[in-house]
Every structure is written in structure tokens, then in C-alpha cells.
Chain A
């Protein structure tokens, strides 16, 4: 560490942005990998690792990757849900690493839903 100037504060902020956006909870995109026993058996861990690697590689800031339980459609695992801020969540099924990469670059980064891998748009109604 060396002595900093006023403009260096901004550089530190940029460098820390991904870490901090995780905590603020107002990320632009949220990707949920379904990690029930079925998902894990079908390879959800690989999908998770692939996602985290892409996030690292592309150095994206405003994206959170999280897990949730079984989505209820065990035969179509591995699955993930992509939710862009202010838009309906989209569920993707029968994923592999290649599909994950494509969904990431087309949907998460460019906002275009990858229809051929998508199961449905929207979530179940609760209650």
C-alpha cells in the first residue's frame, strides 16, 4: 500500500464493487442454481463452478450468483433461474457448461432470453 490521492478512492471503490454489491442486495442480475439432491446429482455443482468462473473472467460487478433448493422438476435438472432487475425470472433446464456460457453472455449480459434452453418465463404463484 502506498499513499493515496483523492482520485484513488474511486479506484478502490471500483476494485471492491463486486464484493460490496453482494452485500447491498441491489444487484442488476440474480442467477439462482437449483441445488437439491437431484440437482447436485445431475451436475449442478459444475454449473455453479462454471458460472463463478465466468463472473470472474468477465469481471462483472452487479451480478449475484446464489443457490436454492430443488425447483420441483427433478428430471430436467440441472436448472437455473435468471432474474434481471425489474424483469420476470426465466428458468433454464438441462444445463451444461456450454449452455450456461451462452445464457450468461446472451441473457445476463445482453438481456436476450435464450428461448431454446428456457423452460418458462415467470415463477409459480405463491399463495
Chain B
């Protein structure tokens, strides 16, 4: 191993890769070579750093300098200044919104400062494709402990005492589930890692696999020790090629080292893992559908009980956990249940990974202790709402989560608190919405997704969501009627009560929560035929304010319908019969003269 003096930890998560991080890598290596620094400065491709909005990003070790928006053109200057002359380059550093001075060090940037990494403990610190780097940071030592110093019963007890709950949505206590599988009768038992991650906009699980695949493998081998399972499956969606590739590589390396396969570490445990790719249907993430899909059957949920713990893959006792749940396991075994239980709230221990997206400055992936408030996530970590707009709501838990209003921003996040306000933890999606978001349209949008993703087995879910979506669409088109709100509420109860799985069980959340907190918006749509946020096309008109219009012709030139007329330097007019409400004029106008009502 060369004695590099500096490591450039360049992010190779999916977000940064699509913004060109491999091109940046080539440029870096080229310039490093040019200055003869190839034996001093090494480039390490890491998993997702989390600050995806600023990508491609890199962290320089040991100085801890954080660089963002790297492009090939920046590299010659960067290499000469920072890596040859030791002068960090300010113009590539992060500048907080509404401030002027850059923040050089990663730990001083608000986005990173409030995070606590357990599941993502190795993110950005290792090359995920090198098993030795995982081992160097304590990897597989928890497995050694579980195999040589603990009985299966003690491993289960440790996980139980830690208070770890499933990170895939339902929040079931992980230790209890392991206990059930360990106690179930059967000569063959299975483990499953649920990496289906069907929530649109969520990428927690993908990032964990991309940045630290061995943490999941180690968690599963410990699970095998605890439950007596002899084989594990990772069920991963087909749209995750990079995560899939890293997983294949990690499994091969673990096998070579004898950390998977027969007689693991010479301690007598036999356990291997294979990968199964799913086609990416939302319902495939539901455990009974997933098992059906794994066996080659149609992915439809079935009645529980029997639970997978008794009757799972190929009819055998099966323990299924989410990616993030598995990734927590080695740390709990290493540091102890007490340590883990000391983080979080009364009912929810440890941390949770969220993908923060939507109308927020710092979109990306964050891991925070349970009990952190929504305000801290949206404003301290997320950096607040762009363009000085007002915060309106945050939706947690994916498409079937509820929308939580500004009045509840101080809510500490845990499984129970989120349920109390009509939302769910889900798997950790978090969508921030600003004042320009129409909440009726939001409900319509998520129901459209859920309507398409319903597998159709249960009538209430298949037909109920469709009818609810139809009503919402009607309201958005200006054809809402008195009684629609009540009808939506009634249908919600029916869908929740008569669906086998939580797809139907939670689908009404976006509707119920928006009615609860934003009823006035529904009423404006229905009674006054107005969309207060100016989103629903049928309910808005674009006009030009003759006072503000300078007659610059920019809107007229951009209008795809030629609906705008007027002489240069004279106020323009929009022909309402031709206007298709695309909003191009609104975006084009430099004088805020285009009005939406």
C-alpha cells in the first residue's frame, strides 16, 4: 500500500455519478499525474456522501475540506492549488444559502453537523468495493463476537434490548421477529433483505448498499447465527444497477474470505447469500408479495397469519428485514444494546435515514437520531425553503404518508408521534412543500401513484383508490361538488378497513391528512372554483398587469400558442381562448408582470 499523504474521497453514489463524477475522477488522475503527485495523492471512489444536491462532491482527507459541483474544468486549478500548493480552493466550497462566506470543513456545514451516523457509519470513509477497508473500520468484528463470544439466544436478546425496530415501514421490533424465527420449527430457514425500496423519491436503501454493502452482509450473517437460517436472499429492484453491482462484488469478496459459505471463519456456521432482482412494482416491497415474487409467483399479498416467520420462502420460516435494519445490526452487537437504546426516544431507538427532497435547499440523504424535530430536518439540515418562499407542509413516509403542516414543525420524529398526526415513518421518504404547492393536487398525485400500484387483489383497494382519485381529479378540474370531502373521508375508512396489506391500509393518508390540515384549500376548489396556490390549471388564469408590463415581448416570443399580443414597449395581453396555462410567460417575465389567479 502506498503512503499517500492525501485521499480525495470522491462520491460515486448514483446522484454524483449521473452528474459526472467518473469524468471528474479521470481529470483528477490526469492532473495529479501531470504534477507528478501520483504517489502522494490518491483518489478514492466512495458511496453516496448524502449531499446529493451539490454533486459531484468530494471530501479531502485528512484536511476534511468539502468541495462541491466539481466539473472537469475545475480540476487543473484545484490540483495545482490544493494538492500541489496546499491552498484550498474557496470557489469550490459550500456557501450556505443567504450567506457569503464559504464553509471549508465538512463538519462545519449545517447539513452534516446535526447528523449521527450508525447505519451509514462508513459512508464516504471507505471504498465500498474494497473489503479490507470495511474490515479496517471494524467490519466483521461484530460477526466474530457473535460467533465466538455469544450464543444465538444472547444475540437475539441484545437486539431485543437495543429496541431496534424495522426500518422498512411497520416498525416491528426486530429482536422479537428473530425470536419467532429461531423458535419456529423447520430444518431449513431463510433470511431476506428487503431492498425493493418502492417509494418514489426515496433512496436510503440504495445509498446504504452503494456506500457500504458489507454492513448488510455482516448483519445478515449475524442474523443467521441468531435464527439458524442457512440461506439469505437480497431482493433488490432492477432499477438499482450500481447497488446491484457492488453487492455482487461484496458477496464474492466475502465468500473468498470465508465470511460467507461453509464453515464461516472456521466457526462452523454455514450461510450463503444470493441476489434476486425485482421488476420494481411498489407492492413487491410488501413482505408476502415479495416472497411470492421471489418464488416466481405473481406478487400479491396474502392473508397473515401465518406470518413469514412461520411460513415464508418456500413455506419455510423466514425472517425478512429492511436494508437499513440489517445495516444497524453489526453496530449494535459491537457497541451493545445499552449504547443503542441510549439514542432516540422512549419508543423509538437509534437513528433513521431520510431522503430529504422537494422544496428545500439541501436535498440529499441524512441520518438523524430519532426524536429530532421536523423543523431541525427542514431548516437546520435542509437549509430551509429556496427562493425565500414559505414552508407549507412536509410529507413523511412515502406516497402513502400524511402531509404535516407548519403548526406541527416542532414535532419530534418517532414512529408513534408521526402516527398521531396522521402520517407514518414509512421507510424514510421526506418531501418538503412550499407555499406554491396545492395540497389537493398533492393528494391527487399520490393517489394516482397508488391507484396504479395497487395489485388489484382486494376490491376496496383496487376500486376504492380509483374512485377517490376520480373525485380528487374532478375537484382539481373545477367540478367538485358539495359532499365530496365527506365522500372522500368515508371511502378512506372503507379502503383502510378492507385491504389485506398496508398499501390499501395507508393509501388514504395523503387525502385524510390534507383534509385535516388544509380543508380550506379543498373548500376553495369546490365552492369558489379557485386554486389558492395557483397550480390547478382549470382553476387559474394568467393575465398581464399593464402597470408592470414593460412591453419587452419576451413572453410573446416564448408563448407556444402565440396567445400573447401587443406592440413593443406597450402592455401585452393574453388571449384566454388560446392560452393553455403552461406558465411559460410567467417564468419568462423579468418584471413579475404576469399574474396567476
Contact = CB atoms under 8 A, between A and B. Distances in A.
B132 A22 contact: no
B5 A40 contact: no
Interface in B221-276: 253, 256-259, 265-267
Given A36-B85, A52-B39, A12 B62 contact: no
A105 interface: no
Contact of A64 (B62, B87, B132): B62
Given A9-B141, A16-B135, A22-B61, A1 B9 contact: no
Contacts of A35: 84-86
Nearest to B253: A1
Contact of B136 (A13, A25, A56): A13
Contacts of A9: 135, 140-141, 144
B570 interface: no
Contacts of B39: 52
B7 A22 contact: yes
Contacts of B7: 19, 22-23
Interface residues of A, number: 38
Interface string B44-77: 0000000000000000011110000000000000
B543 interface: no
A5 B148 CA distance: 11
A17 B36 CA distance: 25
Nearest to A36: B85
A66 B63 contact: yes
B493 interface: no
Interface in A1-56: 1-6, 9, 12-13, 15-20, 22-23, 25, 27, 30, 32-37, 40, 45, 48, 52, 55-56
A68 interface: yes
Nearest to B82: A67
A12 B135 contact: yes
A35 B136 CA distance: 32
A25 B65 CA distance: 11
Pick from B9, B62, B147, B266 the residue with the most CB of A within 10 Å.
B62
Contact of B266 (A5, A25, A55): A5
A66 B9 contact: no
B6 interface: yes
B86 A69 contact: yes
A4 B136 contact: no
Given A22-B4, A23-B125, A32 B84 contact: no
A5 B268 CA distance: 12
B3 interface: yes
Contacts of B87: 68-69
B5 A65 contact: yes
Nearest to B59: A23
A52 B5 contact: yes
Contact of B1 (A1, A15, A30, A52): A15
Nearest to B2: A56
A50 to B, nearest CB: 12
Contacts of B40: 48, 52
Contacts of A33: 86
B137 A20 contact: yes
B136 A12 contact: yes
A9 B256 CA distance: 14
A99 to B, nearest CB: 19
A13 B61 contact: no
Interface in B121-136: 125, 132-133, 135-136
Nearest to B125: A23
Interface residues of B, number: 40
Given A35-B86, A40-B84, A67-B84, A18 B257 contact: no
Contacts of B3: 18, 52, 55-56, 65
B542 interface: no
A37 B63 contact: no
B12 to A, nearest CB: 16
Given A6-B265, A55-B3, A68-B87, A13 B135 contact: yes
B83 interface: yes
Contacts of A52: 3, 5, 39-40
Nearest to B148: A6
Contacts of A3: 256-258, 266
A45 B259 CA distance: 44
Given A22-B61, A25-B62, A40-B85, A4 B265 contact: yes
Given A52-B3, A64-B62, A15 B132 contact: yes
Contacts of A65: 3, 5
B136 A19 contact: yes
A43 B133 CA distance: 35
Contacts of B125: 23
Pick from A22, A23, A25, A55 the residue with the most CB of B within 10 Å.
A23
Contact of A69 (B5, B83, B85, B147): B85
Contacts of A64: 5, 62
Contact of B257 (A1, A23, A37): A1
A18 B4 CA distance: 9
Nearest to B147: A6
B5 A16 contact: no
A12 B132 CA distance: 7
Given A15-B132, A16-B132, A18-B1, A4 B257 contact: yes
A79 B253 CA distance: 44
A69 B132 CA distance: 34
Contacts of B136: 12-13, 16-17, 19-20
Interface in B1-28: 1-7, 9
Contacts of A69: 85-87
Nearest to B264: A3
Contacts of B265: 4-6
A28 to B, nearest CB: 12
Nearest to A37: B85
Given A6-B148, A22-B62, A23-B7, 5 more contacts: A4-B258, A18-B1, A18-B3, A20-B136, A67-B84
Interface of B: 1-7, 9, 36, 39-40, 61-64, 83-87, 125, 132-133, 135-138, 140-141, 144, 147-148, 253, 256-259, 265-267
Sort A-B residue pairs by CB-CB distance and give the 6 closest, nearest first. A67-B86, A3-B258, A16-B136, A68-B86, A65-B5, A69-B87
18 contacts: A3-B256, A4-B259, A5-B265, A6-B144, A6-B265, A6-B266, A9-B140, A16-B136, A19-B1, A19-B4, A19-B7, A19-B133, A20-B136, A22-B61, A23-B61, A52-B40, A56-B2, A67-B5
